[in-house]
Structure 1
Amino acid sequence: MKNHLQLGTKLLLASAILLSTTAVGSNSLATASGVPASTVSLASSAIAKEYALFLKEKYKVILQEKVTRGQYASAIVAVLGTNPSIAAVSASAKASERLSAIEAVQLALNASGLEELAYTYPKVKVQKTLASLKLNWKANAYGSKVAQQLAAAVDTGLLTADYYGLIKNNSAASSSLTTVLLGKVLEAKGEYKHYIGYSSDSDIFSKLNDAYSTSDIIKAPELQKIVDEALKQNLVTGYNLKDSRFDANFIDSLSLTYGHSDLKHALQLIGLLRSEGIKAKVQFEPKTSAFIYLKEWGDPGVSDLYEVVQIENGNYIEYAKEYDIAFEFGTASDKARFDQIVLQYAKKNEDKQPGLIYGSWWQPLYYSLTELNNYKKISNNKIEKGHYYAQSFSLKEQSATVTSGFKKLDPTVKVINYDFWVDGPFFNYLNGESK
């Protein structure tokens, strides 16, 4: 989660961006200057609420109903974390003024990195695109940069039809509009949620198959040098390698992560959720799990699903191709239901147990970054290098030992520790139980 940035100088600079990129005036564009209430569809309202929750949880950004230039500018700074080029314009005197809808769209377009696209629009293309807005503009206004920016915002989906009325009437920006624009900016910059689809999609099985078949065993030599040595010294019993570029970035309060190794199990798990009436966003996160393979187990053989490296004592380290599936549920109650569904249909309690989906484990692994009933708190011990990271889960009381062990192996390494909540059977596994 990104930290909320303080305002101060960054607020003034971002406000200056807003002022320097705005060339809107009621004289040239609009014949009406009132601030009517916008009519927003139920679908758009739901999208705005989803964006609003994301902005609140990830960035601590909450937009008030009467959005000022300063508030919007500070929100842009908070979600992007950097400032684009700005003109030498004093912003402090304008920060408290109401933000117009057109200004909000302009800055969102620029923050999304789409400004150059806008300036490719000839006047005739602008007029054609903006016809659906039914603007009360003079003919020469369609040749302005503002018109080009609005047209590009419409064509790229940054400005949706629910907010055309605010533009037509040269109205003040609403919190709904600015929230949606910020969400669209995050999407354009790759900073919003990442998912291959919904559990209810007709092609979700195809997408899962494609994601699995194109994933490979992850290799991160610098990280593996540390965690492999930790395995050899029995500091940890196993670890995962993952690539942060696949992280779902879901809203913590509505999401959890489920780990497994068999694709058929994942397909049946999605089908199970659908049969239980649960719709959730789905992200496939490739994962490689490493553990000690004992020499007395016999020749490990060769497979596309794992690799082995023999170590000094004759044992092996096995690197197995696995995955995490991140789910974001529509409601907290659906997230809470997941545990009981898995325990009933995807948790093995006896050999050859009927009524379970394929590949059910004795100790399934799924976890949440927020507290849930019947889940147990444990710790993650994580090290990073670039976009790769290695992590090993442990009981809370063992976390300090794992951390100090990593640091002894490499004094320069930064260990990231945090607590989270895991399902009961996996907690039992960490305590040495077999079921």
Structure 2
Amino acid sequence: MRNLTAPVMRRFAAASLAFAIAGALALPASAAASGEDAADYALFLQAKHDIAFDGATTKGEFLAALADTLSLTAPEEAVAFADVAANNPAYAAAAALYDAGVITSTTVQPDAALTASMAVFLAVKAAGLKELAYTYPAAKVEASLAKASLKASAYTPQAAKEIAAAIDTGLLPESYYAELKEDKPASEALVAVLLGKVLSFNDTYKHYLGRASDADIFVKLQDAYRTSDIIQAPGLQHIVDTALKQGLVTGYNLKDSRYDPNFVDSLALTYGHDNLKHALQLVGLLRGEGIDALVQFEPKTSAFLYLKEWGEPSQSDSFRVVQIENGNYIAYAKEYDISFEFETAADKARFQDIVLAYAKKNSDDATGLIANSWWQPLYYSNTELAGYDLISNNKIRGDGPFYAQSFSLNDQSAAISEGFQSLDSKLEVETYTFWVDPPFYRYLNGESL
């Protein structure tokens, strides 16, 4: 967790966390069956924010977690709390949330046990739903609270409106209505769900089209592909195109960070291709193998040198070229990445065997493969996987959401980074290693298969 009140947060391994939420807390079946559940949110919070709860949660711990997930910091102007001094570990988070309107009282009570209702009141404001809540007339509040067998008379008018909005928007899932009715200390599962929902409402949780098992996933993939175009980022492209001309790189990708999946790395893989039919059949292949996963479509443009001796290039909406000074061309091809977040690490590990058996071309007359299979398929992981090879990504960002990246062997990375910076001294190059499939690794080494 970021250093707000880090000492009060209790941490443990992601696997143990997921087990505790899904198993020891006896997560209701209806919650587990309706998409992301408490275990999913808990794993995300631990993996992305280093936030975990072990046992009873205090209000101060919940406030620290909210401030972290919202990326809030304390304002320069001091907040005069009645019970929290500026040197109190809870101050920074409380002041940040007060400044953001999530806390509305100058009495914080950070050591108090976090009750279910208290957690909901805070989550409604942190999720940006308070304006919606305060539009509720009395009759609508009564009708909404009745879904959870609650009475408006048990709360102040403002509190009743906040609970009604939490129920109607799904911020408070049905599986946790009973906790609110009893208003006991909030369970770990409820805390994880509310924090996860706050992330979702603030567009900082995962991004995906759906699950491989969804009936409409193929329609969504087709829509995503059809509405994607060759990415245009002139300022950024000038730098990487110059790098291509000078031979610093042999190719690069342009991507849009607004489509980043933000998946949990330990369960995620990214697969690159250019053909829509291949994407549809790949998802069908996973379904046939009994594998489910979250699916995100990421538009991508691949750029490379097209040599003049290859002949006059034909152009289309998905393939364009620009001739350069020596008579060669820079080609821009519409491609995509599909990112998957698997349900288990074992399913992620199985992916390679499936691709090598059904989506890897080994001869011109190969049969038994899904459509448009490549000689060197490309898929990779940000965490180590047995049977994969370590390579480098050399990444630069332009104005706005676009970035360019060029994959390389590790011993070439420093030269590429220095080459980028020689083209623009203000440029920041992000270089990191990741794990790629063996056929693509052999391709980087100049091998044909």
Global fold match (TM > 0.5): yes
Instruction: Please tell me whether the aligned partners of residues 38 and 166 of structure 1 are also in contact (alpha carbons under 8 angstroms).
Output: no
Question: Which residue in the other structure is 2:48 paired with?
Answer: 58
Q: Greater CA deviation, 140-149 or 285-294?
A: 140-149
Q: Does 1:73 align with 2:63?
A: yes
Residues 375-384 or 297-306, more deviating:
297-306
Match for residue 420 of structure 1 among 434, 439, 443: 434
Is 2:22 aligned against 1:5?
no
SS of 2:57's equivalent? coil
* 2:385 is the alignment partner of 1:367: no
| Secondary structure of the structure 2 residue equivalent to 1:321 | strand
- Post-superposition shift, 1:143? 5.9
Matched letter for residue 41 of structure 1: P
Equivalent pairs counted in the alignment come to 403
Q: CA deviation at 1:64?
A: 2.4
Q: Among residues 126, 133, 150, which one is paired with 1:118 in the alignment?
A: 133
Q: Percent identity?
A: 58
Deviations 1:146-182 (A, max 9, x none): 0000000000001112211221122111111010001
* 2:85 is equivalent to residue 95 of structure 1: no
d(CA) in 2 for partners of 1:242 and 1:54? 24
The match for 2:213 is: 200
Q: Distance in 2 between matches of 1:63 and 1:222?
A: 45
1:290 aligned partner: 303
Give, in whole Å, the separation in 1 of the partners of 2:363 and 2:116: 62
**Contact 2:27–2:38 (CA under 8 A) maintained in structure 1:** no
**CA distance change for structure 1 residues 237 and 71 in 2, over 3 Å: closer, same or farther?**
same
Query: What secondary structure is seen at the aligned counterpart in 2 of 1:228?
Result: helix
In the alignment, the residues of structure 1 paired with residue 201 and residue 105 of structure 2 have an alpha-carbon distance, to the nearest angstrom, of: 27
- Larger RCO: 1 or 2 (CA < 8 Å, sep 6+): 1
Q: Which residue of 1 aligns with 2:144?
A: 129
Q: Deviations over 1:1-28 (max 9, x none)?
A: xxx311259x9xxxxxxxxxxxxxxxxx
Deviation string for 1:168-220 (max 9, x for gaps)? 12211111101000111111111111111111122211111110000000011
- Residue aligned with 1:133, SS: coil
Whole-Å separation in 2 of the counterparts to 1:249 and 1:6:
22
Contact 2:5 / 2:64 at 8 angstroms: preserved in 1? no
TM-score by length of 1: 0.89
1:66 counterpart letter in structure 2: A
Deviation for aligned residue 1:353: 0.7
Structure 2: 5+ residue runs without aligned partners? 9-23, 73-95
Unaligned runs of 5+ residues in structure 1 are 12-36
Q: Secondary structure at the match of 1:110?
A: helix
Query: What is the rounded CA distance, in whole Å, between the counterparts of 2:302 and 2:407 in structure 1?
Result: 12
Q: Give 2:225's aligned residue.
A: 212
Which residue type is aligned with residue 414 of structure 2?
A
Q: Matched residues in 1 for 2:256 and 2:318: separation?
A: 18
Mapping of residues 126-275 of structure 1, within 5 Å: 126-135=141-150, 137=151, 140-141=153-154, 144-275=157-288
Aligned AA (2:397): E
- Which residue of the partner structure matches residue 334 of structure 1? 347
Equivalent residue for 1:42? Answer: 29
Corresponding residue SS for 2:299: strand
Separation in 1, partners of 2:365, 2:27: 54
375-384 vs 158-167, which moves further:
158-167
What is the CA-CA distance between 1:132 and the residue it aligns to? 2.6
2:87 corresponds to which residue? none
Kindly indicate whether the alpha-carbon contact (under 8 Å) linking 1:205 and 1:267 is maintained by their aligned counterparts in 2. Answer: yes
TM-score of the superposed pair, with normalisation by structure 2:
0.87
SS at match of 1:405: helix
